[in-house]
A and B are shown apart, each in its own frame.
Chain A
Amino acid sequence: MNNVLKFKNKKTDVAAQDEIYNFAYLDENTKRMIRRALIKALCIPGYQVPFSSREMPMPYGWGTGGVQVTSSCLTTDDVIKVIDQGADDTTNAVSIRNFFKKTANIETTEKTSQASIIQTRHRIPEEKLKEKQILVYQVPIPEPLAFLEPRYQETKKMHALSEYGIMHVKLYEDITKNGHIETAYAYPVKTNDRYIMDPSPIPKFDNPKMNNNPAIQLFGAGREQRIYAIPPYTEVTSLDFEDYPFDPSKAPHKCSICGSNESFLDEIITDDDGNRSFICSDTNYCNQRMENN
Chain B
Amino acid sequence: MRGNRNLWLGGCLTLIFAGAALISFLWVPYDTTVLDIANKIKGPSGAHPLGTDHFGRDILSMIMVGARTSIAVALVAVGIGMGLGVPLGLTAAAKKGSFLDELIMRGNDLVFAFPSLLIAIMITAVFGASALNAIIAIGIFNIPVFARLTRSGALSLWTRDYVMAARVAGKGAARISAEHILPNVTNLLIVQGTIQFSLGILAEAGLSYVGLGAQPPTASWGRMLADSQTMISFAPHMALFPGLAILLTVLGLNLMGDGLRDLFDPKLRRAR
Decide whether A and B are members of one complex: no
